[in-house]
Amino acid sequence: MKKHTARENLHLTEPQQVVMEYLDALLSEIEPEVEQVVTEQARVEPAVDTLREARDIVEKSDVPVFTEGAESLNEDEFQILLFDVSGVKFAVPLDKLNGILEWSDDVVPMPNRSDWFLGILAERERQIKVIDIAVLVVPSKFRQHHMASNLQKIILIGDSHWGLACDAVSEVITLRKNDVRWRSETSKRPWLAGTVIEHMCALLDADEFAEMLGSDQLVPAA
């Protein structure tokens, strides 16, 4: 059987080629028998309540947003927030999002820590550990233009213990299960839930990612 790549049947610009090469690398770990075929376009125009929720997240990003009751990955439909890191698009399930903050110069660096650990941010009696997610999950050849000065937002996961520094957040979209090509159990990246080719993004398993951060099991991408 012919092996399909993420970029097949897409007309891509040069930056998109870089993104698709990265997604191809992720997809190479997904076993053929568990790959899902996208059967319909993801719903980009969510309901009124979802639009209001997205507006609160993006326009009021300095206020933590809690999303109790949002659909989980176990549902037939669920919502994700798209965000950009070093030219690569990622997504996190909306029900795992504990809030979004503007980047702050109050992030205090800690001595003798890994390059991906940017520091501690004191926010509303919380001590948020801020990390450079690009260094952890994007291989160096795909982040040649990555700079700390580009970091604009901090996405909170893991009960707000961890903040993922990113370049920008974009929109909330609704997906169906078969819109995602789910990772295999043997994947070398347990933090990867799957990939969404329609939106050219990698979907994070936020719980697994936070757990790995807390146990120091994550190492920078090669």
| Extended beta strands in the chain, E state | 77-85, 88-93, 99-102, 117-123, 126-132, 153-157, 162-166, 168-176, 181-182, 192-196, 201-204
Better-scored residue on pLDDT, 151 or 218: 151
Helix or strand (DSSP H, E) at 48 = helix 48-59
Q: How far is it, in rounded angstroms, from Cα 191 to Cα 136?
A: 11
In this prediction, residue 148 carries a pLDDT of 86
Secondary structure (DSSP) of 56-102:
HHHHTTTS----TT---TTSSEEEEEEEEETTEEEEEEGGG--EEEE
Q: What is the pLDDT of residues 1-32, one digit of tens each?
A: 444 444 444 444 555 666 667 676 665 655 44
Q: Which residue has the tokens 């936070």?
A: 210
Q: Are 178 and 38 in contact (CB under 8 A)?
A: yes
From the number of C-beta atoms within 10 Å of its C-beta (0-12, 13-18, 19+), residue 68 rates as exposed
Percent of the chain topping pLDDT 90: 43
Residue 188 pLDDT more than 90?
no
Q: How far is it, in rounded angstroms, from Cα 192 to Cα 144?
A: 22
From the number of C-beta atoms within 10 Å of its C-beta (0-12, 13-18, 19+), residue 11 rates as exposed
- Give the predicted TM-score (pTM) of the model: 0.72
Q: What is the pLDDT of residues 92-115, one digit of tens each?
A: 999 999 999 999 999 999 998 888
In this prediction, residue 111 carries a pLDDT of 92
Look up residue 202 and give its DSSP letter.
Answer: E
In this prediction, residue 3 carries a pLDDT of 44
Q: 14-48 in b/e burial notation, b at 16+ Cβ within 10 A?
A: eeeebbbbbbeebbeebeeeeebeeeeebeeebee
Domains defined for the chain, CATH in brackets: 14-214 (2.40.50.180)
Q: What is the pLDDT of residues 72-87, one digit of tens each?
A: 566 689 999 999 998 8
In this prediction, residue 125 carries a pLDDT of 84
In this prediction, residue 207 carries a pLDDT of 94
Residue 68 pLDDT more than 70?
no
Residue 156 pLDDT more than 90?
yes
Percent of the chain topping pLDDT 70: 66
Q: How far is it, in rounded angstroms, from Cα 201 to Cα 181?
A: 11
Question: What's the chain's average pLDDT?
Answer: 76
Better-scored residue on pLDDT, 166 or 51: 166
Non-local (6+) Cβ contacts of 24 within 8 A are 5, 6, 7
In this prediction, residue 34 carries a pLDDT of 36
Q: Which residue has the tokens 């999303």?
A: 67
In this prediction, residue 24 carries a pLDDT of 67
